């Protein structure tokens, strides 16, 4: 008797699983030069977030040529997005290729600046809108500490970055994902790392005690790339951090949230 129930159960399970297997067949896509996740998502009519989730991609700007990505099934019902740390509504809207106004309307959000991690946001599935692709990079603070020197004129010289001071050995993190294009020692800078974030941006991390990456590494935002030191022209332990756009030093404070 128990055996019969077992067989029925197996049969039922097989019947249930068959259509699930069928509908969950995935498409695959191999990333080519010039592709962006936004283009791929648009072509397959899925959201960037869905592709990122299905492939465990942490940053949509960090995809590699030749990388094979799973294209999840197209879904038509509304989805729910759980707000992560540091996310803004405009990032979420961009990720799903829908307008910010639409998210605010559907969720009846009174103040778009007041969203909190863990909050559930309904993402409408209809009518993706065109979104801007050439956004500014989203840098995070590369180290904990206090600012001992700002960008700008300093005596007779010009200070091309900011100095973040802290104890020797304090971890230094990649401000945004990118490729390490220099890792070594440079005059004045001491032990230096330069990361290329594409979109014309480079970041510099100088005076390091020890570099923790090598040239050619693709690093993720927040990855520990070095430890704070005093190498090069430094009187005390600090990180000298530069942001360069098309080679021109920018004030890093314009990119960092307070």
Smallest gap from residue 149 Cβ to Zn ion (A): 6
Half-sphere exposure (Cβ direction) of 211: Cα atoms closer than 13 Å: 22
Smallest gap from residue 244 Cβ to Zn ion (A): 14
Our CB check for Zn ion shows the closer of 222 and 249 to be 249
Radius of gyration of the chain (CA): 23
- Region from 69-77, 134-142, 156-164, 174-182 binding Zn ion, contact rule CB under 5 A: 156-164
Using rule CB under 5 A, residue 240 touches Zn ion: yes
Our CB check for Zn ion shows the closer of 81 and 240 to be 240
Using rule CB under 5 A, residue 163 touches Zn ion: yes
Using rule CB under 5 A, residue 81 touches Zn ion: no
Smallest gap from residue 204 Cβ to Zn ion (A): 10
Smallest gap from residue 228 Cβ to Zn ion (A): 12
Our CB check for Zn ion shows the closer of 135 and 233 to be 233
Backbone φ and ψ for 247, nearest 5 degrees, come out as 85, -10
190 Cβ contact list (under 8 Å, min separation 6): 206, 207, 208, 229, 230, 231, 232, 233, 234
Smallest gap from residue 29 Cβ to Zn ion (A): 43
Pick out residues in 87-106 that bind Zn ion (CB under 5 A): none
* Residue whose C-beta lies closest to Zn ion: 240
Number of amino acids touching Zn ion (CB under 5 A): 2
Our CB check for Zn ion shows the closer of 96 and 189 to be 189
Smallest gap from residue 48 Cβ to Zn ion (A): 36
Using rule CB under 5 A, residue 207 touches Zn ion: no
Residues of this chain that bind Zn ion (CB under 5 A) = 163, 240
């Amino acid at each position: 008797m128990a055996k019969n129930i077992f067989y029925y159960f197996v049969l039922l399970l097989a019947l249930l699983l068959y259509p699930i297997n069928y509908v969950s067949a995935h498409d695959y896509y191999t990333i080519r030069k010039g592709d962006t996740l936004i283009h791929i998502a648009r072509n397959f009519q899925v959201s960037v977030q869905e592709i990122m989730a299905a492939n465990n991609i942490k940053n949509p700007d960090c995809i590699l040529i030749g990388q094979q990505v799973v294209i999840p099934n197209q879904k038509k019902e509304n989805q729910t997005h759980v707000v992560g740390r540091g996310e803004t509504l405009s990032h979420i809207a961009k990720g799903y290729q829908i307008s910010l106004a639409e998210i605010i309307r559907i969720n009846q959000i009174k103040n778009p600046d007041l969203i909190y991690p863990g909050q559930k946001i309904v993402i409408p599935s209809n009518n993706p809108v065109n979104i801007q692709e050439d956004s500014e990079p989203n840098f995070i603070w590369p180290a904990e500490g206090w600012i001992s020197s700002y960008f700008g004129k300093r005596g007779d010289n010009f200070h091309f970055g900011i100095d973040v001071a802290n104890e020797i050995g304090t971890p230094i993190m990649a401000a945004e994902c990118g490729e390490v294009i220099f890792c070594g020692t440079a005059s004045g800078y001491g032990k230096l790392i330069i990361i290329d974030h594409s979109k014309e941006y480079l970041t510099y991390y100088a005076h390091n005690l020890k570099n923790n990456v090598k040239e050619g590494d693709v690093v993720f935002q927040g990855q520990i790339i070095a430890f704070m030191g005093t190498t090069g022209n430094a009187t005390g332990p600090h990180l000298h951090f530069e942001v360069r756009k098309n080679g021109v030093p920018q004030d890093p404070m314009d990119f960092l949230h307070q």
